[in-house]
Structure 1
Amino acid sequence: MARVSAELISAFRRTISKLKNNAPYQWGHMGACNCGNLAQEITNLSKADIHRYAMEKHGDWNDQLIEYCPTSGYPMDLMISKMIEAGLNIEELKHLEKLSDPKILKHIPIPKRHQLEKNNKADVILYLETWVLILENEWLSNVTVKIEEKKQKNLGEKVLA
């Protein structure tokens, strides 16, 4: 699962909000599709810039993720690197474009889980909302563990004082 952070969660939340408020969505447009909308929030690039960068190479998001090379110098590869730095991984991005990650799907009730359409804005929103809830729960769990560790450390210091 993604390397969770407040910044990544915020990017998901902004993407969901924009999609719910009629942001351009077009599955066949590299800057306005599932990955493209999230990429806008992570990279601060416009849909037009993302699409233009993608057209410098061939293929859709999945093809470009397969051929991703962090040292190629292609703007699309640099953008994918930025998404990876934000905490995502290549497999998650491939799944996002197709709404197919089993780790996310298992949290979507049946039968909707088996009826998601990769080019349906409402389904993309549901998938992103489900994913961000998973990320938020993981983030809260990590914060709670760190707080408990700190409490234990502080207790030990008081006993030894």
Structure 2
Amino acid sequence: MAKANPKLIEAIERTVAKLSNGAAYQWGHMGACNCGNLAQELTQFTKSEIHQYAMQKHGDWNEQLLDYCPTSGYPIDLMISKMLDFGLTLDDLAHLERLSDLGILSQIPKERSDKINKNSREDVVLYMETWAKILRENWINENEISLELALEKKLKLPVLV
């Protein structure tokens, strides 16, 4: 799963808010689908720009991810690289497009997760809300541990009088 960090969490939450408030959503449109909406938040490219970049190569997001090459020079690959810089993995993006990460789905009630549909705005919102919640909890836990370790080390330092 993605490396939990505030910038990524905030971008996912902004995406959820935009989709909840009626932002353009169309699963078959590279700039307005599941990944496309998150890409808008992470890269600041418009849905039209994202779609245009993606059309320079073949396939949907999953095919683009399989063909991803950070040094290809294709704009879609550069955009994917920017998304990865936020702590995402190629698997995260593939799962987002299909709403298929088992760790995320396991946090959604089974009767709801069994019916999740990759091209439903409401399901994308639920999936991303759950993902953001998991990442936020992971980030808090990781940073509490770091704080505890820092305090422990500080306590072990000799006291200067």
**TM-score bracket, shorter-length normalisation:** over 0.9
In the alignment, the residues of structure 1 paired with residue 2 and residue 92 of structure 2 have an alpha-carbon distance, to the nearest angstrom, of: 8
For residues 135 and 97 of structure 1, what CA distance do their matches in structure 2 show? 18
Unaligned runs of 5+ in 1: none
Q: Tell me the equivalent position of 1:14.
A: 14
Counterpart in the other structure of 1:107? 107
Q: Distance between the aligned counterparts of 1:91 and 1:140, measured in 2? A: 23
State how 1:1-161 maps to structure 2 within 5 Å: 1-158=1-158
Instruction: Name the CA distance, whole Å, in 2 between partners of 1:50 and 1:24.
Output: 13
1:36 maps to amino acid: G
Q: CA deviation at 1:146?
A: 1.1
Cα distance between partner residues in 2 of 1:17 and 1:111: 24
SS in 2 for 1:23: coil
Q: How far apart in 2 are the matches of 1:158 and 1:14? A: 46
How far 1:160 sits from its partner (Å)?
Answer: 8.0
Letter of the 1:61 counterpart? W
> Distance in 2 between the 1:100 and 1:57 partners?
24
**Which amino acid counterpart does residue 81 of structure 1 have in structure 2?**
S
State the Cα distance separating 1:158 from its structure 2 match: 4.2
- In 2, distance between residues paired with 1:145 and 1:7? 20
Alignment size in residue pairs: 161
Between the aligned residues of both structures, percent identity stands at 55
* TM-align CA RMSD: 1.1
Moved over 6 A (4+): none
TM-score by length of 2: 0.97
Offset, 1:115: 0.3
* Counterpart secondary structure, 1:111: helix
Cα distance in 1 between the residues matched to 2:18 and 2:85: 22
